[in-house]
Amino acid sequence: MIRDLELSILEILFNDSRTTPAQIAVMTGHSEEEVTAVIRSLEAQKIILKYPAMINWDRVEVDQVEAVIEVRVTPQRDEGFDAIAEQIYRFDEVSSVYLMSGAYDLMVTVKASNMKRLALFVAEKLSTLDHVLSTATHFVLKKYKLEGVIFEERRQDERLVISP
Amino acid sequence: MNYDRVLNSRVAQVPPSGIRKFFDVVSTMKDAISLGVGEPDFTSQWSVNDAAIYSLKQGRTHYTANAGLMALREAACDYLESRFGVRYDPKTEIFMTVGASEGIDLSLRALVEPGDEVLMPDPSYVSYSPGVIFAGGTPRPLVTRNEDEFRLTPQAVKAALTPRTKALILPYPNNPTGAIMEREHLEAIAEVLRGTDVVVISDEIYAELTYGGKTHVSFASIPGMKERTITLNGFSKAFAMTGWRMGYACAPAEILSVMLKMHQYTIMCAPTAGQYAALEALKAGRETDYAYVKEMVRTYDRRRRIMLDAYKQMGLSCFEPRGAFYTFPCVKSTGLTSQQFAERLLMEKKVACVPGTAFGESGEGYVRCSYATATDKVIEAMARMKEFVQEIRRV
Protein backbone atom coordinates (compact mmCIF):
# COMPACT_ATOMS: atom_id res chain seq x y z
CA MET A 1 0.00 0.00 0.00
CA ILE A 2 2.71 2.44 1.03
CA ARG A 3 4.68 1.29 -2.01
CA ASP A 4 1.72 2.12 -4.27
CA LEU A 5 1.62 5.59 -2.75
CA GLU A 6 5.37 6.03 -3.16
CA LEU A 7 5.18 5.05 -6.82
CA SER A 8 2.21 7.35 -7.41
CA ILE A 9 4.00 10.27 -5.78
CA LEU A 10 7.13 9.63 -7.82
CA GLU A 11 5.12 9.44 -11.03
CA ILE A 12 3.23 12.64 -10.26
CA LEU A 13 6.35 14.59 -9.27
CA PHE A 14 8.28 13.26 -12.25
CA ASN A 15 5.57 14.72 -14.47
CA ASP A 16 5.29 18.00 -12.61
CA SER A 17 7.53 18.62 -9.63
CA ARG A 18 5.49 21.70 -8.72
CA THR A 19 2.54 19.54 -7.65
CA THR A 20 1.93 20.32 -3.98
CA PRO A 21 1.43 17.70 -1.27
CA ALA A 22 -2.16 18.93 -0.95
CA GLN A 23 -2.77 18.31 -4.65
CA ILE A 24 -1.09 14.93 -4.51
CA ALA A 25 -3.27 14.05 -1.52
CA VAL A 26 -6.39 14.76 -3.60
CA MET A 27 -5.04 12.88 -6.61
CA THR A 28 -4.20 9.76 -4.64
CA GLY A 29 -6.93 9.75 -2.02
CA HIS A 30 -4.49 9.97 0.90
CA SER A 31 -4.11 12.66 3.56
CA GLU A 32 -1.78 15.59 3.03
CA GLU A 33 0.18 14.60 6.15
CA GLU A 34 0.70 11.10 4.81
CA VAL A 35 1.88 12.43 1.45
CA THR A 36 4.25 14.91 3.08
CA ALA A 37 5.72 12.17 5.24
CA VAL A 38 6.29 9.90 2.25
CA ILE A 39 7.95 12.71 0.28
CA ARG A 40 10.25 13.47 3.23
CA SER A 41 11.18 9.85 3.46
CA LEU A 42 11.83 9.64 -0.29
CA GLU A 43 14.08 12.67 0.03
CA ALA A 44 15.88 11.22 3.05
CA GLN A 45 16.51 8.00 1.16
CA LYS A 46 17.94 10.05 -1.71
CA ILE A 47 15.29 8.64 -4.02
CA ILE A 48 14.13 12.16 -4.77
CA LEU A 49 17.30 14.17 -5.21
CA LYS A 50 16.18 17.46 -6.67
CA TYR A 51 13.18 19.21 -8.28
CA PRO A 52 14.51 20.71 -11.51
CA ALA A 53 12.66 22.14 -14.51
CA MET A 54 13.25 20.68 -17.94
CA ILE A 55 14.63 23.43 -20.16
CA ASN A 56 15.28 23.52 -23.88
CA TRP A 57 18.53 25.50 -23.77
CA ASP A 58 18.62 25.60 -27.56
CA ARG A 59 15.87 28.19 -27.39
CA VAL A 60 17.80 30.37 -24.96
CA GLU A 61 20.53 32.62 -26.27
CA VAL A 62 23.42 31.12 -24.32
CA ASP A 63 26.80 29.95 -25.45
CA GLN A 64 26.93 26.31 -24.62
CA VAL A 65 28.12 23.18 -26.33
CA GLU A 66 27.60 19.66 -25.14
CA ALA A 67 29.40 16.46 -26.01
CA VAL A 68 28.93 12.80 -25.26
CA ILE A 69 32.28 11.16 -24.60
CA GLU A 70 32.89 7.45 -24.71
CA VAL A 71 35.59 6.66 -22.16
CA ARG A 72 37.46 3.36 -21.93
CA VAL A 73 39.15 2.81 -18.57
CA THR A 74 41.01 0.15 -16.63
CA PRO A 75 38.94 -0.86 -13.63
CA GLN A 76 40.85 -0.76 -10.35
CA ARG A 77 41.26 -3.50 -7.81
CA ASP A 78 38.64 -3.28 -5.01
CA GLU A 79 37.15 -0.11 -6.47
CA GLY A 80 35.99 -1.40 -9.85
CA PHE A 81 34.81 1.54 -11.92
CA ASP A 82 33.55 3.66 -9.05
CA ALA A 83 36.80 5.43 -8.16
CA ILE A 84 37.59 6.45 -11.71
CA ALA A 85 33.96 7.44 -12.26
CA GLU A 86 34.20 9.69 -9.24
CA GLN A 87 37.37 11.29 -10.51
CA ILE A 88 35.43 12.15 -13.63
CA TYR A 89 32.07 13.21 -12.22
CA ARG A 90 33.65 15.62 -9.72
CA PHE A 91 34.54 17.98 -12.58
CA ASP A 92 32.03 20.82 -12.88
CA GLU A 93 32.12 20.50 -16.67
CA VAL A 94 30.74 16.98 -16.44
CA SER A 95 26.96 16.87 -16.36
CA SER A 96 26.38 13.12 -16.36
CA VAL A 97 28.29 9.86 -16.11
CA TYR A 98 26.94 6.41 -16.88
CA LEU A 99 28.64 3.02 -16.56
CA MET A 100 27.92 1.19 -19.80
CA SER A 101 28.02 -2.32 -21.16
CA GLY A 102 29.61 -2.80 -24.58
CA ALA A 103 32.50 -1.28 -26.45
CA TYR A 104 33.39 1.37 -23.86
CA ASP A 105 32.97 1.75 -20.11
CA LEU A 106 31.80 5.23 -19.18
CA MET A 107 29.51 7.53 -21.08
CA VAL A 108 30.27 11.07 -19.98
CA THR A 109 28.41 14.17 -21.02
CA VAL A 110 30.30 17.39 -20.79
CA LYS A 111 29.17 20.98 -21.18
CA ALA A 112 31.30 24.02 -21.95
CA SER A 113 30.82 27.51 -23.30
CA ASN A 114 32.45 26.71 -26.64
CA MET A 115 33.90 23.87 -28.61
CA LYS A 116 37.51 24.75 -27.93
CA ARG A 117 37.07 24.79 -24.18
CA LEU A 118 35.32 21.47 -24.32
CA ALA A 119 38.02 19.91 -26.49
CA LEU A 120 40.71 21.19 -24.15
CA PHE A 121 38.89 19.76 -21.16
CA VAL A 122 38.89 16.35 -22.77
CA ALA A 123 42.51 16.61 -23.90
CA GLU A 124 43.96 18.03 -20.72
CA LYS A 125 41.74 16.79 -17.91
CA LEU A 126 39.87 13.71 -18.96
CA SER A 127 42.27 11.77 -21.15
CA THR A 128 45.22 12.43 -18.85
CA LEU A 129 43.60 10.75 -15.87
CA ASP A 130 45.30 7.57 -14.69
CA HIS A 131 43.36 4.49 -15.83
CA VAL A 132 41.73 6.30 -18.76
CA LEU A 133 42.74 4.33 -21.83
CA SER A 134 40.94 6.27 -24.55
CA THR A 135 38.20 8.80 -25.26
CA ALA A 136 35.94 9.42 -28.24
CA THR A 137 34.14 12.75 -28.29
CA HIS A 138 30.80 13.27 -30.03
CA PHE A 139 29.34 16.77 -30.10
CA VAL A 140 25.60 17.09 -29.57
CA LEU A 141 24.03 18.96 -32.47
CA LYS A 142 20.39 18.92 -31.49
CA LYS A 143 18.22 17.43 -28.78
CA TYR A 144 14.93 15.92 -29.87
CA LYS A 145 13.67 14.18 -26.77
CA LEU A 146 14.77 13.92 -23.17
CA GLU A 147 13.21 11.87 -20.37
CA GLY A 148 10.12 11.25 -22.46
CA VAL A 149 9.63 14.91 -23.37
CA ILE A 150 9.68 15.86 -27.05
CA PHE A 151 11.40 19.22 -27.37
CA GLU A 152 9.60 20.58 -30.39
CA GLU A 153 6.22 18.95 -30.14
CA ARG A 154 4.16 20.00 -33.14
CA ARG A 155 1.17 17.93 -32.26
CA GLN A 156 -1.76 19.86 -30.84
CA ASP A 157 -5.03 18.74 -29.36
CA GLU A 158 -6.97 18.20 -32.56
CA ARG A 159 -9.96 16.51 -30.99
CA LEU A 160 -13.46 17.87 -31.55
CA VAL A 161 -14.14 20.20 -28.63
CA ILE A 162 -17.40 18.43 -27.84
CA SER A 163 -18.11 14.82 -28.71
CA PRO A 164 -20.62 12.30 -27.44
CA MET B 1 -39.14 18.07 -55.15
CA ASN B 2 -41.10 17.20 -52.05
CA TYR B 3 -38.39 16.02 -49.72
CA ASP B 4 -40.86 15.19 -46.99
CA ARG B 5 -42.27 12.49 -49.24
CA VAL B 6 -38.85 11.31 -50.32
CA LEU B 7 -37.19 10.89 -46.96
CA ASN B 8 -37.87 8.03 -44.59
CA SER B 9 -40.03 9.77 -42.00
CA ARG B 10 -38.96 7.48 -39.21
CA VAL B 11 -35.34 8.48 -39.73
CA ALA B 12 -36.04 12.10 -40.59
CA GLN B 13 -38.00 12.63 -37.39
CA VAL B 14 -35.18 11.65 -35.09
CA PRO B 15 -33.85 14.93 -33.70
CA PRO B 16 -30.18 15.69 -34.29
CA SER B 17 -27.87 15.02 -31.36
CA GLY B 18 -28.33 17.55 -28.54
CA ILE B 19 -24.59 17.81 -28.41
CA ARG B 20 -24.46 19.33 -31.86
CA LYS B 21 -25.86 22.74 -30.93
CA PHE B 22 -23.43 23.09 -28.11
CA PHE B 23 -20.55 22.03 -30.28
CA ASP B 24 -21.23 24.88 -32.68
CA VAL B 25 -21.02 27.44 -29.87
CA VAL B 26 -17.90 26.00 -28.25
CA SER B 27 -15.97 25.65 -31.48
CA THR B 28 -16.20 29.40 -32.06
CA MET B 29 -14.49 30.13 -28.73
CA LYS B 30 -10.75 30.08 -28.97
CA ASP B 31 -9.49 29.75 -25.42
CA ALA B 32 -12.24 27.70 -23.83
CA ILE B 33 -11.27 24.64 -21.80
CA SER B 34 -13.40 21.77 -22.96
CA LEU B 35 -14.59 19.12 -20.53
CA GLY B 36 -16.95 18.03 -23.26
CA VAL B 37 -14.71 15.61 -25.08
CA GLY B 38 -15.78 11.99 -25.22
CA GLU B 39 -12.47 10.52 -26.29
CA PRO B 40 -9.05 10.01 -24.69
CA ASP B 41 -6.54 12.86 -24.72
CA PHE B 42 -3.83 10.21 -25.10
CA THR B 43 -2.80 9.31 -28.63
CA SER B 44 -2.38 5.74 -29.81
CA GLN B 45 1.01 4.20 -29.09
CA TRP B 46 3.59 4.81 -31.78
CA SER B 47 4.18 1.09 -32.17
CA VAL B 48 0.50 0.82 -33.11
CA ASN B 49 0.81 3.57 -35.73
CA ASP B 50 4.01 1.99 -36.94
CA ALA B 51 2.35 -1.39 -37.40
CA ALA B 52 -0.28 0.20 -39.62
CA ILE B 53 2.36 2.09 -41.62
CA TYR B 54 4.33 -1.11 -42.03
CA SER B 55 1.24 -2.93 -43.26
CA LEU B 56 0.88 -0.27 -45.95
CA LYS B 57 4.55 -0.58 -46.90
CA GLN B 58 3.95 -4.30 -47.29
CA GLY B 59 1.15 -3.50 -49.72
CA ARG B 60 -1.55 -4.88 -47.43
CA THR B 61 -4.16 -2.66 -48.98
CA HIS B 62 -6.79 -5.27 -49.79
CA TYR B 63 -9.96 -6.51 -48.14
CA THR B 64 -9.55 -8.95 -45.30
CA ALA B 65 -12.01 -11.72 -44.48
CA ASN B 66 -15.42 -10.20 -43.67
CA ALA B 67 -14.96 -11.03 -40.02
CA GLY B 68 -11.46 -9.56 -39.97
CA LEU B 69 -7.96 -11.05 -39.84
CA MET B 70 -7.99 -14.41 -38.11
CA ALA B 71 -4.89 -13.45 -36.10
CA LEU B 72 -6.73 -10.39 -34.81
CA ARG B 73 -9.88 -12.35 -33.95
CA GLU B 74 -7.76 -14.85 -32.05
CA ALA B 75 -5.89 -12.09 -30.24
CA ALA B 76 -9.16 -10.34 -29.32
CA CYS B 77 -10.69 -13.58 -28.02
CA ASP B 78 -7.57 -14.27 -25.93
CA TYR B 79 -7.71 -10.70 -24.64
CA LEU B 80 -11.36 -10.98 -23.57
CA GLU B 81 -10.67 -14.28 -21.87
CA SER B 82 -7.59 -13.10 -20.00
CA ARG B 83 -9.00 -9.71 -18.97
CA PHE B 84 -12.69 -10.44 -18.42
CA GLY B 85 -13.03 -14.20 -18.25
CA VAL B 86 -15.29 -14.65 -21.27
CA ARG B 87 -14.30 -17.11 -23.99
CA TYR B 88 -15.52 -16.66 -27.56
CA ASP B 89 -14.65 -18.81 -30.56
CA PRO B 90 -12.53 -16.78 -33.01
CA LYS B 91 -14.05 -18.67 -35.95
CA THR B 92 -17.76 -18.23 -35.27
CA GLU B 93 -18.37 -15.87 -32.35
CA ILE B 94 -16.53 -12.63 -33.12
CA PHE B 95 -15.99 -10.19 -35.96
CA MET B 96 -14.26 -6.88 -36.34
CA THR B 97 -16.48 -3.82 -36.74
CA VAL B 98 -15.98 -0.18 -37.69
CA GLY B 99 -15.89 1.03 -34.10
CA ALA B 100 -18.19 -0.38 -31.45
CA SER B 101 -20.75 1.97 -33.03
CA GLU B 102 -21.23 -0.37 -35.97
CA GLY B 103 -21.77 -3.16 -33.47
CA ILE B 104 -24.59 -1.19 -31.82
CA ASP B 105 -26.30 -0.64 -35.15
CA LEU B 106 -25.89 -4.23 -36.34
CA SER B 107 -27.07 -5.67 -33.01
CA LEU B 108 -30.24 -3.63 -33.15
CA ARG B 109 -30.97 -4.34 -36.80
CA ALA B 110 -30.32 -8.05 -36.30
CA LEU B 111 -32.88 -8.22 -33.50
CA VAL B 112 -35.53 -5.55 -33.82
CA GLU B 113 -38.74 -5.83 -35.81
CA PRO B 114 -41.37 -3.11 -36.08
CA GLY B 115 -43.09 -2.68 -32.75
CA ASP B 116 -40.34 -4.35 -30.74
CA GLU B 117 -39.19 -2.57 -27.63
CA VAL B 118 -35.61 -2.08 -26.53
CA LEU B 119 -34.80 -1.16 -22.95
CA MET B 120 -31.89 1.10 -22.09
CA PRO B 121 -30.80 3.12 -19.09
CA ASP B 122 -31.43 6.85 -19.22
CA PRO B 123 -29.24 8.91 -19.27
CA SER B 124 -27.08 7.02 -21.74
CA TYR B 125 -24.87 7.39 -24.77
CA VAL B 126 -26.65 9.28 -27.53
CA SER B 127 -26.72 6.55 -30.20
CA TYR B 128 -28.88 3.88 -28.61
CA SER B 129 -32.29 5.43 -28.89
CA PRO B 130 -31.86 6.63 -32.52
CA GLY B 131 -30.37 3.23 -33.36
CA VAL B 132 -33.53 1.51 -32.10
CA ILE B 133 -35.73 3.89 -34.10
CA PHE B 134 -33.63 3.43 -37.27
CA ALA B 135 -34.15 -0.32 -36.82
CA GLY B 136 -37.91 0.22 -36.61
CA GLY B 137 -38.28 -0.42 -32.90
CA THR B 138 -39.38 1.59 -29.91
CA PRO B 139 -36.83 2.77 -27.33
CA ARG B 140 -37.88 2.30 -23.71
CA PRO B 141 -35.63 4.45 -21.52
CA LEU B 142 -35.31 3.23 -17.94
CA VAL B 143 -34.64 6.06 -15.53
CA THR B 144 -31.48 5.60 -13.47
CA ARG B 145 -30.91 7.70 -10.38
CA ASN B 146 -28.14 9.44 -8.54
CA GLU B 147 -29.11 7.64 -5.31
CA ASP B 148 -28.54 4.28 -7.07
CA GLU B 149 -25.24 5.61 -8.39
CA PHE B 150 -26.91 5.52 -11.83
CA ARG B 151 -26.99 1.73 -11.90
CA LEU B 152 -29.79 -0.03 -13.71
CA THR B 153 -31.96 -1.75 -11.11
CA PRO B 154 -33.59 -5.15 -11.57
CA GLN B 155 -36.89 -3.59 -10.44
CA ALA B 156 -36.78 -1.09 -13.30
CA VAL B 157 -36.04 -3.84 -15.83
CA LYS B 158 -38.75 -6.11 -14.44
CA ALA B 159 -41.36 -3.36 -14.49
CA ALA B 160 -40.58 -2.51 -18.11
CA LEU B 161 -40.66 -6.04 -19.53
CA THR B 162 -43.51 -6.67 -21.97
CA PRO B 163 -44.08 -9.42 -24.56
CA ARG B 164 -42.60 -6.99 -27.10
CA THR B 165 -39.32 -6.48 -25.23
CA LYS B 166 -36.62 -7.67 -27.58
CA ALA B 167 -33.44 -6.45 -26.03
CA LEU B 168 -31.82 -4.62 -23.15
CA ILE B 169 -28.85 -2.35 -23.81
CA LEU B 170 -26.42 -2.53 -20.91
CA PRO B 171 -23.78 0.17 -21.33
CA TYR B 172 -21.44 -0.04 -18.34
CA PRO B 173 -19.05 1.56 -17.45
CA ASN B 174 -21.47 4.25 -18.48
CA ASN B 175 -21.21 7.34 -20.61
CA PRO B 176 -22.26 9.98 -19.40
CA THR B 177 -22.53 9.07 -15.71
CA GLY B 178 -19.34 7.08 -15.09
CA ALA B 179 -21.44 4.45 -13.30
CA ILE B 180 -20.36 0.81 -13.21
CA MET B 181 -22.30 -2.37 -12.50
CA GLU B 182 -20.54 -4.82 -10.19
CA ARG B 183 -21.05 -8.56 -10.28
CA GLU B 184 -23.87 -8.56 -7.74
CA HIS B 185 -25.74 -5.89 -9.69
CA LEU B 186 -25.36 -7.78 -12.95
CA GLU B 187 -26.48 -10.99 -11.28
CA ALA B 188 -29.65 -9.28 -10.13
CA ILE B 189 -30.37 -8.18 -13.71
CA ALA B 190 -29.59 -11.69 -14.95
CA GLU B 191 -32.09 -13.11 -12.47
CA VAL B 192 -34.85 -10.98 -13.99
CA LEU B 193 -33.95 -12.06 -17.53
CA ARG B 194 -33.67 -15.79 -16.90
CA GLY B 195 -36.50 -17.62 -18.61
CA THR B 196 -37.16 -14.78 -21.07
CA ASP B 197 -35.89 -14.38 -24.63
CA VAL B 198 -34.59 -10.88 -24.05
CA VAL B 199 -31.16 -10.33 -25.58
CA VAL B 200 -28.64 -8.18 -23.77
CA ILE B 201 -26.51 -5.81 -25.84
CA SER B 202 -23.61 -5.21 -23.50
CA ASP B 203 -21.62 -2.19 -24.68
CA GLU B 204 -18.35 -2.60 -22.81
CA ILE B 205 -16.24 -0.06 -24.67
CA TYR B 206 -15.05 1.48 -21.37
CA ALA B 207 -14.27 -1.90 -19.77
CA GLU B 208 -10.60 -1.10 -19.15
CA LEU B 209 -11.36 2.22 -17.47
CA THR B 210 -12.41 1.44 -13.91
CA TYR B 211 -11.11 2.94 -10.67
CA GLY B 212 -10.93 2.52 -6.94
CA GLY B 213 -9.95 -1.14 -7.02
CA LYS B 214 -12.99 -2.12 -9.09
CA THR B 215 -12.51 -4.20 -12.18
CA HIS B 216 -15.01 -4.57 -14.97
CA VAL B 217 -17.33 -7.57 -14.97
CA SER B 218 -18.48 -8.69 -18.39
CA PHE B 219 -22.19 -9.52 -18.51
CA ALA B 220 -21.50 -12.66 -20.57
CA SER B 221 -19.39 -13.99 -17.67
CA ILE B 222 -22.49 -14.21 -15.45
CA PRO B 223 -23.54 -17.88 -15.44
CA GLY B 224 -26.12 -18.64 -18.12
CA MET B 225 -25.98 -15.17 -19.70
CA LYS B 226 -23.55 -15.76 -22.56
CA GLU B 227 -26.23 -17.38 -24.72
CA ARG B 228 -28.30 -14.17 -24.65
CA THR B 229 -25.52 -11.59 -24.74
CA ILE B 230 -23.98 -9.58 -27.53
CA THR B 231 -20.71 -8.19 -26.19
CA LEU B 232 -19.51 -5.03 -27.91
CA ASN B 233 -16.04 -3.70 -27.34
CA GLY B 234 -13.23 -2.02 -29.23
CA PHE B 235 -9.91 -0.27 -29.21
CA SER B 236 -11.04 3.37 -28.95
CA LYS B 237 -11.05 3.82 -25.20
CA ALA B 238 -8.80 1.02 -23.93
CA PHE B 239 -5.97 1.79 -26.33
CA ALA B 240 -6.72 5.43 -27.17
CA MET B 241 -7.50 4.59 -30.80
CA THR B 242 -10.77 6.43 -31.49
CA GLY B 243 -9.85 7.62 -34.96
CA TRP B 244 -8.92 4.13 -36.12
CA ARG B 245 -12.58 3.12 -35.86
CA MET B 246 -11.83 -0.41 -34.71
CA GLY B 247 -14.28 -2.41 -32.65
CA TYR B 248 -15.60 -5.93 -32.38
CA ALA B 249 -18.83 -7.74 -31.74
CA CYS B 250 -19.06 -11.09 -29.96
CA ALA B 251 -22.13 -13.28 -29.59
CA PRO B 252 -23.37 -16.83 -29.91
CA ALA B 253 -22.90 -17.98 -33.52
CA GLU B 254 -26.67 -17.98 -34.14
CA ILE B 255 -26.87 -14.23 -33.48
CA LEU B 256 -23.45 -13.30 -34.75
CA SER B 257 -23.93 -14.91 -38.15
CA VAL B 258 -26.95 -12.67 -38.79
CA MET B 259 -25.02 -9.57 -37.77
CA LEU B 260 -22.09 -10.67 -39.90
CA LYS B 261 -24.38 -11.04 -42.90
CA MET B 262 -25.33 -7.36 -42.68
CA HIS B 263 -21.68 -6.45 -42.12
CA GLN B 264 -20.77 -8.42 -45.28
CA TYR B 265 -23.33 -6.62 -47.41
CA THR B 266 -22.85 -3.11 -46.01
CA ILE B 267 -19.25 -2.77 -44.84
CA MET B 268 -17.37 -5.74 -46.28
CA CYS B 269 -14.67 -5.60 -43.62
CA ALA B 270 -13.11 -3.24 -41.10
CA PRO B 271 -10.26 -1.18 -42.61
CA THR B 272 -7.22 -3.38 -43.12
CA ALA B 273 -4.58 -0.96 -41.82
CA GLY B 274 -6.70 -0.45 -38.72
CA GLN B 275 -6.81 -4.17 -38.16
CA TYR B 276 -3.03 -4.39 -38.19
CA ALA B 277 -2.87 -1.46 -35.79
CA ALA B 278 -5.36 -3.18 -33.48
CA LEU B 279 -3.41 -6.42 -33.60
CA GLU B 280 -0.28 -4.58 -32.49
CA ALA B 281 -2.20 -2.92 -29.63
CA LEU B 282 -3.25 -6.32 -28.31
CA LYS B 283 0.20 -7.86 -28.78
CA ALA B 284 1.97 -4.97 -27.08
CA GLY B 285 -0.61 -5.08 -24.30
CA ARG B 286 -0.09 -8.75 -23.65
CA GLU B 287 3.70 -8.44 -23.72
CA THR B 288 3.82 -5.49 -21.31
CA ASP B 289 0.98 -6.59 -19.04
CA TYR B 290 -1.04 -3.66 -20.43
CA ALA B 291 1.41 -1.06 -19.06
CA TYR B 292 0.14 1.59 -21.49
CA VAL B 293 -3.48 0.99 -20.48
CA LYS B 294 -2.61 0.98 -16.79
CA GLU B 295 -0.70 4.24 -17.05
CA MET B 296 -3.71 5.89 -18.67
CA VAL B 297 -5.98 4.54 -15.96
CA ARG B 298 -3.70 5.90 -13.21
CA THR B 299 -3.70 9.31 -14.86
CA TYR B 300 -7.48 9.33 -15.35
CA ASP B 301 -7.97 8.27 -11.74
CA ARG B 302 -5.97 11.25 -10.44
CA ARG B 303 -8.00 13.66 -12.53
CA ARG B 304 -11.20 11.97 -11.41
CA ARG B 305 -10.23 12.57 -7.80
CA ILE B 306 -9.33 16.20 -8.55
CA MET B 307 -12.83 16.76 -9.97
CA LEU B 308 -14.63 15.03 -7.12
CA ASP B 309 -12.67 17.04 -4.56
CA ALA B 310 -13.47 20.25 -6.45
CA TYR B 311 -17.23 19.48 -6.50
CA LYS B 312 -17.12 18.92 -2.76
CA GLN B 313 -15.54 22.33 -2.30
CA MET B 314 -18.14 23.91 -4.58
CA GLY B 315 -20.98 22.23 -2.77
CA LEU B 316 -22.13 20.30 -5.84
CA SER B 317 -23.20 16.77 -5.03
CA CYS B 318 -21.70 14.04 -7.14
CA PHE B 319 -21.71 10.29 -6.56
CA GLU B 320 -18.32 8.70 -6.96
CA PRO B 321 -18.13 7.43 -10.55
CA ARG B 322 -15.89 4.40 -10.88
CA GLY B 323 -15.73 3.98 -14.62
CA ALA B 324 -15.17 5.59 -18.04
CA PHE B 325 -13.75 9.13 -17.85
CA TYR B 326 -16.76 11.18 -16.85
CA THR B 327 -18.10 12.80 -13.75
CA PHE B 328 -21.77 13.68 -13.57
CA PRO B 329 -22.27 16.33 -10.90
CA CYS B 330 -25.73 17.48 -9.86
CA VAL B 331 -26.21 21.20 -10.52
CA LYS B 332 -29.75 21.50 -9.15
CA SER B 333 -28.51 23.38 -6.07
CA THR B 334 -27.50 26.30 -8.30
CA GLY B 335 -31.12 26.77 -9.36
CA LEU B 336 -30.11 26.45 -13.01
CA THR B 337 -31.17 23.82 -15.50
CA SER B 338 -28.50 21.64 -17.09
CA GLN B 339 -28.67 23.68 -20.26
CA GLN B 340 -28.48 27.03 -18.45
CA PHE B 341 -25.60 25.84 -16.29
CA ALA B 342 -23.60 24.61 -19.29
CA GLU B 343 -24.31 27.71 -21.38
CA ARG B 344 -23.51 30.21 -18.66
CA LEU B 345 -20.40 28.34 -17.55
CA LEU B 346 -19.20 28.49 -21.12
CA MET B 347 -20.06 32.16 -21.68
CA GLU B 348 -18.92 33.45 -18.30
CA LYS B 349 -15.92 31.22 -17.57
CA LYS B 350 -15.07 29.64 -20.90
CA VAL B 351 -15.39 26.11 -19.62
CA ALA B 352 -17.40 23.69 -21.74
CA CYS B 353 -19.29 20.74 -20.33
CA VAL B 354 -22.27 18.87 -21.76
CA PRO B 355 -25.79 19.29 -20.33
CA GLY B 356 -27.06 15.98 -18.92
CA THR B 357 -30.19 16.34 -21.04
CA ALA B 358 -28.14 15.58 -24.16
CA PHE B 359 -28.13 12.00 -22.87
CA GLY B 360 -31.82 11.66 -22.07
CA GLU B 361 -34.53 13.39 -20.09
CA SER B 362 -33.36 12.08 -16.75
CA GLY B 363 -30.06 13.86 -17.30
CA GLU B 364 -31.85 17.08 -16.29
CA GLY B 365 -30.13 18.63 -13.29
CA TYR B 366 -26.75 17.18 -14.18
CA VAL B 367 -23.84 18.01 -16.46
CA ARG B 368 -21.23 15.69 -17.89
CA CYS B 369 -17.62 16.71 -17.29
CA SER B 370 -14.99 14.60 -18.98
CA TYR B 371 -11.55 14.21 -17.43
CA ALA B 372 -10.00 13.07 -20.69
CA THR B 373 -8.16 16.39 -20.71
CA ALA B 374 -4.68 17.36 -19.50
CA THR B 375 -4.41 17.48 -15.70
CA ASP B 376 -3.45 21.15 -15.54
CA LYS B 377 -6.48 22.00 -17.66
CA VAL B 378 -8.74 19.98 -15.40
CA ILE B 379 -7.38 21.90 -12.41
CA GLU B 380 -7.88 25.25 -14.14
CA ALA B 381 -11.39 24.31 -15.30
CA MET B 382 -12.36 23.32 -11.77
CA ALA B 383 -11.07 26.63 -10.40
CA ARG B 384 -13.20 28.49 -12.93
CA MET B 385 -16.24 26.36 -12.24
CA LYS B 386 -15.83 27.03 -8.54
CA GLU B 387 -15.82 30.80 -9.17
CA PHE B 388 -18.89 30.40 -11.35
CA VAL B 389 -20.85 28.45 -8.75
CA GLN B 390 -19.87 30.92 -6.02
CA GLU B 391 -21.02 33.85 -8.14
CA ILE B 392 -24.36 32.15 -8.85
CA ARG B 393 -24.90 31.45 -5.17
CA ARG B 394 -24.08 35.03 -4.17
CA VAL B 395 -26.81 36.50 -6.37
Q: What confidence score (pLDDT) does residue B66 get?
A: 98
- Residues of chain B with Cβ-Cβ distance to A12 below 8 Å are 302
Q: How many CA atoms, within 13 angstroms, populate the side-chain half-sphere of residue B46?
A: 0
Which of the four CATH numbers 3.90.1150.10, 3.40.50.300, 3.40.50.970, 1.10.10.10 does domain A2-44 have? 1.10.10.10
pLDDT at B16 over 90: no
- Note the CATH architecture for domain A57-146: 2-Layer Sandwich (3.30)
pLDDT band at residue A28 under the 50/70/90 scheme: very high
CB B229 within 8 A of CB B189: no
pTM for this entry? 0.94
Higher pLDDT, B20 or B282: B282
Q: What mean pLDDT value characterizes chain B?
A: 96
B214 touches chain A (CB under 8 A): no
pLDDT at A113 over 80: yes
Q: What confidence score (pLDDT) does residue A1 get?
A: 62
pLDDT band at residue B345 under the 50/70/90 scheme: very high
A23 touches chain B (CB under 8 A): yes
Q: Do B43 and A16 touch (CB under 8 A)?
A: no
pLDDT band at residue B30 under the 50/70/90 scheme: confident
pLDDT at B21 over 80: no
Share of chain A above pLDDT 90, in %: 85
Residues forming CATH 1.10.10.10 domain(s) in chain A: 2-44
Higher pLDDT, A102 or A157: A102
A68-97 pLDDT, tens digit each:
999 999 998 888 999 999 999 999 999 999
Share of chain B above pLDDT 90, in %: 94
pLDDT at A102 over 90: yes
| Whole-Å CA distances, B147 to A45, A108, B361 | 46, 61, 17
Q: What confidence score (pLDDT) does residue B114 get?
A: 95
Average pLDDT of span A5-34: 97
CA distance to partner chain A, nearest, from residue B130 (Å): 14
CB B169 within 8 A of CB B118: yes
B198-254 pLDDT, tens digit each:
999 999 999 999 999 999 999 999 999 999 999 999 999 999 999 999 999 999 999
CA distance to partner chain B, nearest, from residue A13 (Å): 13
B240 touches chain A (CB under 8 A): no
Name residues whose C-beta falls within 8 Å of residue B7's C-beta, 6 or more positions apart in sequence: none
CB A164 within 8 A of CB B38: yes
pLDDT band at residue A155 under the 50/70/90 scheme: confident
B283 touches chain A (CB under 8 A): no
Q: What confidence score (pLDDT) does residue A78 get?
A: 87
B37-78 pLDDT, tens digit each:
999 999 999 999 999 999 999 999 999 999 999 999 999 999
CA distance to partner chain A, nearest, from residue B79 (Å): 26
Please state which CATH number belongs to domain B3-44+291-394. 3.90.1150.10
Indicate the residue of A12, A27, A164 with minimum beta-carbon distance to B38.
A164
CA distance B105 to B303: 32
pLDDT at B196 over 70: yes
CA distance B333 to B310: 15
Residues forming CATH 3.30.70.920 domain(s) in chain A: 57-146
Residues forming CATH 3.90.1150.10 domain(s) in chain B: 3-44+291-394
| Chain A interface disruption, residue of B127, B298, B371, most A CBs within 10 A | B298
CATH topology of domain B46-287: Aspartate Aminotransferase; domain 2 (3.40.640)
Is the C-alpha dihedral spanning B136, B13, B144, B323 positive or negative?
Answer: positive
CA distance B328 to B370: 9
